[in-house]
Amino acid sequence: MYHAFLLKYGEIGIKGKNRYLFEEALVDSVRRALKDFPQEFEVTRPSGRIFVECKEDFDFEDVLHALQNVFGLVEICPVVLVLDEGFDKLAEKVVEFVDKVYPEKNFTFKVKCRRSRKDYPLDSMQLAAELGGRILDAFPTLSVDVHKPDVYIYVEVRTHNLCIYSKEYEGLGGLPYGTSGKAMLLLSGGIDSPVAGFRVAKRGVKIDAIYFHAPPYTSERAKQKVVDLAHQVAKYSGPMNLYVVNFTDIQLCILDHCPHDELTIIMRRYMMAIAEHFAKEEGCMGLITGESIGQVASQTMQSLECTNAAVSMPVYRPLIAYDKQEIVNESQKIGTFETSILPYEDCCTIFVAKHPVTKPKLDRIEKSETHLVGFIEPLLEKAIDEVEVISID
Ligand code: ATP
Ligand code: MG
């Protein structure tokens, strides 16, 4: 029954002079979300809102779902469009709309009108009052409540037509794709990092991702799992490059030359350093990890301090104060959980010590790393040279 969607956005509304940039980015995101549908959608931006119209029939649920994955949209309202053929005809359509959308006639309502064309014969207040009257005439079991109605019936007078809507579906919120710069996500096959990427991307940050694998200790399937997760995150965050770095020789080198209880920390520091290298190349302004205080030995505040010191770029850790269960809940919500829990080995777990340090000291770690001098440099260079870049669309 619906012909179009009216899309409402929240925070962008307060961006002042730059508002149109955010609106344009949001329109682009909406177009991208709809580009794979067989139908042609027209996305326009009349005064402070976005309209998605389609002249053909489309699958309402599918399109709604696609729009619900777009960062920056706060509400998605399916609308019925009618031509301006006088008030009586409009009232008839509004009554028909109420009848279809709300089969149970036992609620309170309020009609709200808005005119973007001021030459309509009735002003907004009059139009709302008249339409409310017609609805009551048609369905005497309904009643009007102007303060706390169960249901709002919206009618907007537009330049070429009128639109009627009522249901408002929740959008994701956040800021549109690419309005906040770019960052590099350290993406492992676990539960946390996809959620971390989602969270930062939701703030309008474009993301690229980097994955460290350790063949033959980690399998092709483990890598495929990360590629799958990147696709799942990209459904929200937009297209990204996934850097796949072969980390095996670096890990073996650390294993050979450094104390075993410091392996994880030292390895993490090298991961960060390599990630920073590619981040700079890509024009990223920061790194993103899925770390959370105290989750494991390598994420105590002392460990985080050591990891952080390996790079000069800001490191964004959106899950820093989340409990594991909260992260799990979010990963289920965004749809990455099922993939994340597939049982393939992770390069960190294979080389992990039985009793890793939980309170590493940076000066000691740096001292241990001096044992790598002369060995690790060519390995770093090789890992960087031989990176595989997978384009995730
Ligand atoms: P996750 O669930 O994201 O794998 P985790 O609980 O397993 O996290 P760690 O293994 O300590 O935690 O990793 C902490 C963070 O370091 C991850 O969230 C991720 O951002 C990054 N990371 C860990 N391993 C890798 C890897 N193999 N490739 C890329 N990034 C990694
Ligand atoms: Mg992990």
Per residue in 107-152, pLDDT tens? Answer: 999 999 999 888 889 999 999 999 999 999 999 999 999 999 999 9
Which ligand neighbours the alpha carbon of 247 most closely?
1
Give the model's pLDDT for residue 3: 87
- Record the tokens describing residue 59, joined without a space: 């699958």
Measured from the CB, is residue 318 less than 6 Å from ligand 1? no
User: Mean pLDDT over residues 16-40, rounded?
Assistant: 90
Pairing mode, strands 182-186 and 315-316? unpaired
Residue closest via CA to ligand 1's atom 25 equals 188
Looking at the chain, the whole-number percentage of residues with pLDDT higher than 70 is: 97
CB atoms within 10 A of CB 184: 30
Question: What backbone phi and psi angles, to 5 degrees, belong to 148?
Answer: -135, 70
Give Cα separations from 94 to 6, 147, 166, 332 (angstroms).
Answer: 17, 21, 11, 39
> Is the bond preceding 46 in cis, omega lying within 30 degrees of 0?
no
Q: What value does the mean pLDDT of the chain take?
A: 93
Check pLDDT > 60 for residue 217.
yes
**Confidence check: pLDDT of 388 > 90:** yes
pLDDT band at 257 (very low <50, low <70, confident <90, very high): very high
pLDDT of 14 > 80? The answer is: no
| Cα–ligand 1 centroid distance for 190 (angstroms) | 7
Judge whether residue 215 has pLDDT over 60. yes
Instruction: Give the pair of three-digit tokens for residue 388.
Output: 């595989």
The pLDDT of residue 17 = 75
- Span 48-63, mean pLDDT? 90
**pLDDT-wise least confident of 35-39, 117-121, 277-281, 337-341:** 117-121
The response to whether residue 212 sits with its C-beta less than 6 Å from ligand 1 reads: yes
Contact 169, 75 (CB under 8 A): yes
At residue 349, does pLDDT exceed 70? no
Q: Stretch 326-335: mean pLDDT, rounded?
A: 97
pLDDT at 98 over 90: yes
Q: pLDDT-derived band of residue 302, with 50, 70 and 90 as boundaries? A: very high
Higher pLDDT, 346 or 340: 340
Q: Which of 182, 180, 193 is nearest to 289 (CA)?
A: 193
Neighbours of ion ligand 2 (CB under 5 A): 188, 190, 346
Best residue for ligand 1 mutational test, from 248, 348, 350 (most atoms within 8 Å of Cβ): 348
* Residue-level pLDDT at 347: 62
Helix, strand, or coil (residue 31): helix
Q: How does residue 348 score in pLDDT terms, banded at 50, 70 and 90?
A: low
Residue 348 Cβ < 6 Å to ligand 1 = yes
- Which residue's CA lies nearest to atom 1 of ligand 1? 190
Dist CA 151 CA 167 (whole Å)? 8
User: In the predicted model, is pLDDT for residue 13 greater than 60?
Assistant: no
Give the residue, by CA position, lying nearest to ligand 1 atom 26. Answer: 188
The pTM of this model reads 0.91
- Give the residue among 29, 364, 46, 316 at the shortest CA–CA distance from 179: 29
Tokens 């000069």 correspond to what residue?
Answer: 312
Question: Which numbered ligand comes closest to the C-alpha of 291?
Answer: 1
Residue 350, pLDDT above cutoff 90:
no
The whole-angstrom separation of Cα 231 and Cα 219 is 19
pLDDT score of 61: 93
Among protein residues, the one whose CA lies closest to atom 2 of ligand 1: 190
Q: Across residues 25-42, what is the average pLDDT?
A: 94
Question: Mutate which of 186, 188, 336 to test ligand 1's pocket (most atoms within 8 Å of Cβ)?
Answer: 188
Ligand 1 atom 22, closest CA: 188
- Distance of CA 108 from the midpoint of ligand 1 (Å): 51
Q: Which long-range contacts (CB under 8 A, 24 or more apart) does 84-92 make?
A: 84/120, 84/157, 84/161, 84/162, 87/121, 87/122, 87/127, 87/130, 90/131, 90/155, 90/162, 91/130, 91/131, 91/134
Percent of the chain at pLDDT exceeding 90: 82
Atom 11, ligand 1: which residue's CA is nearest? Answer: 298
3-state secondary structure of 328: helix
Report whether 250 contacts 273 (CB < 8 A): no
